[in-house]
Amino acid sequence: MTETINIFIGIVVLLGSLLSLVTTIGLIRLPDVYTRSHAASKSATLGVLLILVGALLYFWFADNYFSARLVLGIVFVFITAPVAGHLISRAAYYTNVPLWGETVQDDLKTKERPKTKKEVEKRQKVHTEA
Amino acid sequence: MKVNDLILQTVTTLLSFIIIIFSVYLFFAGHYTPGGGFIGGLMTSAALVLLLLAFDIKTIRKIFPFNFMTVAAAGLLISILTGVAAMFFDVPYLTHTFGYVELPILGETALASTLIFDLGVYLVVVGIAMTIIQTIGESE
């Protein structure tokens, strides 16, 4: 295991943990559910992916062991994390979680949001039962 | 308004294969590395629960048309029979053995009779987990 590989793996793992840190800062500082889910699903995914790639490279070059499970984990996280973010934000929108106060555009307003008061009550009832 | 679950369903059809294959890997890896019947069974039922989340209960019942209570019973029966089978060879109940067998693709492989016992554990775990979840999911 050469020194170049050592440094490269170190940079990859540090970058991954830095991105995870950025995710947590975003979760604390951003104003509403949608911007937070934006921060959580993107940078956390890339952070975890980079750390897993670092682990994969480390065991490949240090122990000469190519871990297929880590590759599978990378593919799995890459597919699932954005879908989870999408489902959480969509569930939030359907249950009338308010957008950030300074939002200028809401294209789904006419389509997805319940229009009348009756519909709102009906949806909240469904939400509390579920 | 009908909820459109296209993204979830597409991803689920892809991912359930990955999860089930990984659970089978865990099941076979149990003898020499971490894994085994219990964790493999739990992961298979996790894949089935993911399918249940993405599709409705009727579709899943059509794809897997067996009663999971029977699956659990079959698993218990397999586990007991592997124990009883040892008694026919004049050794105590649940004595297990292993041997090296030439397999077509894998070559010389160590096959242990504990694998059959583990298969029983696997089936019991899948059966019981799915029975619990389907029973809770159906009661309105």
Q: Which chain A positions have a beta carbon within 8 Å of B22's beta carbon? A: 69, 72
Measuring CA to CA, how many Å separate B53 from each of A9, A33, B14, B117?
A: 38, 23, 14, 31
Rg (CA), chain B: 18
Nearest chain A CA: its distance from B57 CA (Å): 16
Q: Which chain B positions have a beta carbon within 8 Å of A83's beta carbon? A: 7-8, 11
Q: Name residues whose C-beta falls within 8 Å of residue B95's C-beta, 6 or more positions apart in sequence.
A: B86, B89
Check A72 against B22: CB less than 8 A apart.
yes
A118-130: buried (b, 16+ CB within 10 Å) or exposed (e) per residue? eeeeebeeeeeee
Distance CA B58, CA B52 (A): 9
Check A83 against B14: CB less than 8 A apart.
no
Check A79 against B1: CB less than 8 A apart.
no
Check B18 against A75: CB less than 8 A apart.
yes
Q: Model-level pTM?
A: 0.81
Q: What is the pLDDT averaged over residues B89-96?
A: 87
Check B3 against A75: CB less than 8 A apart.
no
Q: Which chain A positions have a beta carbon within 8 Å of B1's beta carbon? A: 112
Chain A, nearest residue to B4 by Cα: A90
Chain A, nearest residue to B25 by Cα: A69
Q: Over the stretch A61-100, which tens digit does the pLDDT of each residue have?
A: 999 999 999 999 999 999 999 999 999 998 898 888 888 8
Q: Among A43-57, A65-79, A116-130, which stretch is predicted with the lowest mean pLDDT? A: A116-130
**Higher-confidence position of B63 and A83:** A83
Backbone angles phi and psi of B109, in degrees to 5: -130, 140
Q: Which chain B positions have a beta carbon within 8 Å of A86's beta carbon? A: 7
> Would an 8 Å CB–CB cutoff place A91 in contact with chain B?
no
> Would an 8 Å CB–CB cutoff place A65 in contact with chain B?
no
Q: What is the pLDDT averaged over residues B54-70?
A: 87
Write down the ipTM of this complex. Answer: 0.78
Backbone angles phi and psi of A31, in degrees to 5: -80, -40
Quick one: which of A11, A10, A72, A85 has its CA closest to A45? A85
State percent of chain B over pLDDT 90: 49
Q: Which chain B positions have a beta carbon within 8 Å of A72's beta carbon? A: 18, 22
**B98: β partners:** B112
B7: nearest CB among A75, A86, A112: A86
